[in-house]
């Protein structure tokens, strides 16, 4: 019925347009165009015009501070077109402005963006190890395991920097990092020199542990989590399970181990134990580490490792698991992204988080508009097991529910000495605790993932 109605409407529109053309009234004029051909501010700053993106980008010197009052000194558009801006107008370009163009019945909007020259580095990676960037003194510190096998005299580095900046030496090339190594970024009037310092770690303070020989061989989700740890916690490093099992890495000074596993979820603990042979091979050393007061953060399917350690009963494995693919969810984020709820908003784990304007204080946001979530999940739902919800979960597992909604998708377990906090285990089972988006997004709430991890480090180690 809906299809027939649509066909009738289409016929009516076609007939209506034909009638208009017959009596020469109501015709649509699309003979012209709405293109920007030239745009100049203050007589010297000419815009770069991208018709495909409908963007006019005007670059000004790095120290230019008068964007709040700029004069349009040249504006050329398609013949016959009208604009909402004109030569002689003084406009505040502290924020992007809309240039509206009309020509007959054609209309087109361009975004006019005035940007200072900028040469700043946003990411540095040395042979898969993320560096910590200090923008104040323009230094980069990279912590590398002494037994990593990386040839620092001829190591490959990668750089991400300001949109228009160039990098010298070029990103993707090799350099000698056995001594301080300088990288110069340049964008017209902006020049910044960064110095890279490599620190060899004999005794890591924190470890990300995975199956791969090095970080770059991890899947994208795990790689992003590992690079966050090595780039944001001093003396943090990556190690493979074989490194741990073989005694190739010292755990004497290690305070926290981060095990985040993105893969097809397991229906029970036995499935996890059978599939994760690397982690199980290192179990004896991990148990010893935990018994001595070492702490863990476990993500996604890795939450089952708490059972292996003896911190949770074997029959208390997550009963609500799915996923292993990547991608569903991006179109559902919207301006108010997916979020979860803290059972205790005052818990140290949620200190200093950015939240959605007007949201309740216990709303936990970790995603952004446009973010594509992997959505692998190992959590607890209560339609089948633990019918009484949070209280039943805590009675069954001996843990403390952290987030959920009459369910539990993040929780903590006690240390080997029977106390919550130092030496304990944080389990982040929900897909909302995600590290990598294959699609671009503006990061507002995803920064909370790093804050949660830093909070967890403080809570579990001090």
Range(s) of the chain covered by CATH 3.40.50.880: 206-461
* C-alpha count within 13 angstroms, C-beta hemisphere, residue 322: 5
Fold entry, domain 206-461: Rossmann fold (3.40.50)
* Residue with token string 């015009």: 49
Cis peptide before 71 (omega within 30 of 0): no
Give residues with Cβ within 8 angstroms of 145, minimum separation 6: 200, 201, 204, 237, 238, 239, 249
Q: Quote the CA–CA distance of 70 and 67 in Å, as a whole number.
A: 6
Q: How far is CA 96 from the centre of its chain?
A: 25
**Residue 179 burial by Cβ neighbours in a 10 Å radius (0-12, 13-18, 19+):** exposed
Q: Quote the CA–CA distance of 68 and 290 in Å, as a whole number.
A: 58
Q: Which of 322, 292, 289 is nearest to 308 (CA)?
A: 289
Secondary structure of residue 459 in the 3-state scheme = helix
Beta bridge partners of 428: 299, 410
**What DSSP designation does 203 have?**
S
Fold entry, domain 36-116: Immunoglobulin-like (2.60.40)
Helices (H) and strands (E) in the chain — how many of each?
9, 29
pLDDT digits (tens), the chain, 462 positions: 434 434 434 444 344 444 434 444 457 877 789 999 999 999 999 999 999 999 999 999 999 999 999 999 999 999 999 999 999 999 999 999 999 999 999 999 999 999 999 999 999 999 988 898 999 999 999 988 887 788 999 999 999 999 999 999 999 999 999 999 999 999 999 999 999 999 888 899 999 999 998 888 899 999 999 999 988 998 899 999 999 999 888 999 999 999 999 987 787 899 999 999 999 999 999 999 999 999 999 999 999 999 999 999 999 999 888 875 444 444 445 677 889 999 999 999 999 999 988 999 999 999 988 888 887 889 998 655 545 678 889 999 999 999 998 789 999 999 999 999 999 999 999 989 999 988 888 889 999 999 999 999 999 999
CA dihedral 284, 287, 288, 292 (to 10 degrees): 170
Range(s) of the chain covered by CATH 2.60.40.2340: 121-201
Q: Which CATH class is domain 121-201?
A: mainly beta
Does residue 145 contact residue 218 with C-beta atoms inside 8 Å? no
* Residue with token string 């323009």: 138
pTM greater than the 0.75 cutoff: no
């Amino acid at each position: 019925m809906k299809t027939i109605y649509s066909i009738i409407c289409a016929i009516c529109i076609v007939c209506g347009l034909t009638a208009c053309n017959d009596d020469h009234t109501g015709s649509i004029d699309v003979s012209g165009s709405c293109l920007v051909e030239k745009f100049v501010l203050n007589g010297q700053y000419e815009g770069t015009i991208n018709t495909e993106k409908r963007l006019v980008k005007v670059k000004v010197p790095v120290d230019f501070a008068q964007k709040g009052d700029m004069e349009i000194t040249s504006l050329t558009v398609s013949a016959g077109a009208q604009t909402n801006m004109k030569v002689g107008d003084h406009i505040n370009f502290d924020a992007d402005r809309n240039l509206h163009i009309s020509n007959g019945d054609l209309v087109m909007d361009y975004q006019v963006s005035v940007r200072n020259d900028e040469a700043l580095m946003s990411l540095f990676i040395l042979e898969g190890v993320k560096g910590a960037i200090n923008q104040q003194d323009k230094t980069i510190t990279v912590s590398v395991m002494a037994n990593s096998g990386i040839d620092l005299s001829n190591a490959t580095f990668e750089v991400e920097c300001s949109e228009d900046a160039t990098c010298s030496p070029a990103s993707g090339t090799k350099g000698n990092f056995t001594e301080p190594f300088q990288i110069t970024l340049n964008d017209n009037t902006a020049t910044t020199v960064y110095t890279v310092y490599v620190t060899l770690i004999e005794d890591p303070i924190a470890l990300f542990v995975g199956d791969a020989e090095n970080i770059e061989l991890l899947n994208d989700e795990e790689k992003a989590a590992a690079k966050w740890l090595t780039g944001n916690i001093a003396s943090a490093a990556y190690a493979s399970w074989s490194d741990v099992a073989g005694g190739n890495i010292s755990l004497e000074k290690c305070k926290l181990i981060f095990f985040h596993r993105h893969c097809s979820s397991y229906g029970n603990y036995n499935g996890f134990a059978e599939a994760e042979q690397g982690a199980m091979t290192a179990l004896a050393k991990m148990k010893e580490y935990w018994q001595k007061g070492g702490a863990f953060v476990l993500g996604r399917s890795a939450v089952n490792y708490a059972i292996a350690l003896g911190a949770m009963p074997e029959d208390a494995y997550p009963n609500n698991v799915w996923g292993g693919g990547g991608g569903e969810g991006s179109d559902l984020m919207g301006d108010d992204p997916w979020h979860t709820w803290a059972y205790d908003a005052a818990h140290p784990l949620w200190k200093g988080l950015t939240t959605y304007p007007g949201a309740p204080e216990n709303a936990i946001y970790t995603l952004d508009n446009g973010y594509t979530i992997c959505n692998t999940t190992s959590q607890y739902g209560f339609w089948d097991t633990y019918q009484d919800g949070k209280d039943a979960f805590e009675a069954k597992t001996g843990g403390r529910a952290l987030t959920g909604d009459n369910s539990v998708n993040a929780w903590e377990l006690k240390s080997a000495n029977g106390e919550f906090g130092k030496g304990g285990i944080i389990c982040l089972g929900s897909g909302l605790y995600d590290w990598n988006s294959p699609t671009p997004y503006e990061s507002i709430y995803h920064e909370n993932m790093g804050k949660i991890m830093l909070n967890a480090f403080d809570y579990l180690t001090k």
